[in-house]
Structure formats: structure tokens, C-alpha cells
Chains A and B, each alone.
Chain A
Amino acid sequence: MSVRKLSTASILTPSYKNSKIWDGETFPGYFESIATVSVGSAGAATADFTNIPSTYTHLQIRGIARASTTGNRDNLYIRFNGDDGSNYFWHNIAGTGSDPLGSENSGGLVSYGRLGNSVVPQDDAGANIYGVTVTDILDYGNTNKYKTVRALSGQDQNTTTGRLFFASTLWQEYEAITSISLSSGSNFKQYTTFALYGIRGA
């Protein structure tokens, strides 16, 4: 059935015919999937989003990742608009099961942001274990201020090498974010997936 007319009354006091149009609570479109990158069997050095639309207020990335090579665990880096200049600053708190470990790029601005240190399990970590991140990129289209990112990330390996991370990144650029590149120190493995969402409204 096509919708020919939709009034406020038909939403608030729906008849049988239009009762399936709106459940009275959900606001579709306020949190929308933009695109997803899934790494195939060949692996990938980076996972990139390009041509990000400017129609949202905030962005969110939800990702799972595992990397090749050895060393147990690797970083998860983020860069914007292809910028690999020294325009980023990051802080990180790692929960280890004992004392928390804090870190920052104490030497000054660096060429990458971080979504947590040691987020990405590598080939010699427990089999089939992936790290996760939920990352918010706030006010990404505002050209009057620098961009800020906060991430809640982690990985657990049923050993003491598991970590929980709460991280922030500052990108000291005014331009609107139109592309995002995610990487670790080695290739992402198959089934690594990053999904980009747009959030509307204030």
C-alpha cells in the first residue's frame, strides 16, 4: 500500500490501516548507517571511508579488528582527510586488571590519533579474538573549531594481556571531516569490520 496522506492525527491516533507506520517512540533517521568496511581474506593495511556526507551532526564508528604479524596486540590509529602531518594529540587510559596505565603523546603533536593503545589482537594472540571500539567523532562538520574524538575500546584474550581503553584524540584542523582512515601497525585480518554511522540533531 502506498502512503497517500499522513497527518499528525494519523500518527498519534492511528487507525488499523496506518498503525504500522510509526510505533510512537522511534525516530528513524536520527542514527543512520552510512557505510561499512569489511576486510576480505587478503587482509587490508587500512580501512577507509571517503566522501562522508555532511548531513549529520556527529559520527560514530563501531568496529572489530584483528591484525597480522606478531607481538600480541597492536594500536588502532585514526586519521582524517588524509592528514598524516603532526596535527594530532591523544590521551589514553588503559585498564589492565591491576593499576590503570595512563599515556599521552608527551613529545607534542604527532601524525595520528589513537582509539586506544593495544586494541587490536595480532596473529599470536588467542585464536579468533578481535578487539572492539565504539568511537564518537563530535561536530565533524564544524569549520570553526578543531575536532575531538573519544573512544571506548578494548580486547580480551582470557589472559592478563587484555585491556580496556578510554581514549581521546584531538585533530588540530578546522576543515570538515570528509574521510577517515583506520589502521594498525600491520595488516587488518579478514572479518575486521568498521561501520560508520551518522547522528542527526543537537
Chain B
Amino acid sequence: MSEVLMKTVVDCATGEVKSIPLTAAEIAQRDQDAAAYAEQKAAEEAAAAAKAALKESAKAKLVSGTPLTEEEAAALVL
């Protein structure tokens, strides 16, 4: 049996708290949210890793006196 997804709702006028099953549309929206977040999280992590690699490369080139690429220079300058 599949899990019934519920939402917890409080009515601010009465203080009544209810547990209500999600509609099909709400479940579909939730799946979209999760997929969007997974994509965004992967992109952010990839961007962070790429930036860290650029900084390391730029630092190494600075120490050895090798010219930096434009990307490497940008990674060192805010």
C-alpha cells in the first residue's frame, strides 16, 4: 500500500489543527519541487567545486610565476 501524503493545517481563526491528504495536484507539485531542488543542488555543488579548483590552480600559478587565465584571475578577485 502506498504512503498517503498528508499536510498539517492550522486555522488561524479558530486554532483548529487538521491533517488533510494531499491532492493529486499537490503531489505532482511536490515531485516537481524535489526534482528542481536536486537539479539546483547538483549545479551549486558543481559550481562550488569548479570555483575551488580554479582558485587552487590560480594560487599554484601565482607561486610559480606562471601567467593566470582570465577565469583564474576572476576566481581570486571578488
Contacts and interface: CB of A to CB of B under 8 A. Distances in A.
B33 A42 contact: no
Grouping DSSP codes into helix (H, G, I), strand (E, B) and loop, the B interface class, with mixed when no group exceeds half, is helix
B12 A101 contact: no
A117 interface: yes
B9 interface: yes
Most buried by A among B6, B12, B30, B44: B12
Interface residues of B, number: 32
Given A35-B15, A74-B37, A84-B29, A46 B44 contact: no
Interface stretch (A3-11, A20-28, A182-190): A182-190
Nearest to B29: A84
A49 B32 contact: no
Interface in B4-57: 5-15, 17, 19, 22, 25-26, 29-30, 32-34, 36-38, 40-41, 44, 47-48, 51-52, 55
Given A42-B19, A75-B33, A187-B5, A48 B10 contact: yes
A199 interface: no
A65 B40 CA distance: 20
A196 B12 CA distance: 9
Contact of A111 (B5, B22, B32, B55): B32
A181 B33 CA distance: 13
Grouping DSSP codes into helix (H, G, I), strand (E, B) and loop, the A interface class, with mixed when no group exceeds half, is strand
A185 B34 contact: yes
Given A35-B12, A45-B26, A48-B9, 18 more contacts: A35-B11, A36-B10, A46-B22, A50-B11, A53-B12, A71-B41, A74-B37, A75-B33, A99-B48, A99-B55, A111-B29, A117-B37, A117-B44, A183-B30, A185-B33, A185-B37, A185-B38, A187-B5
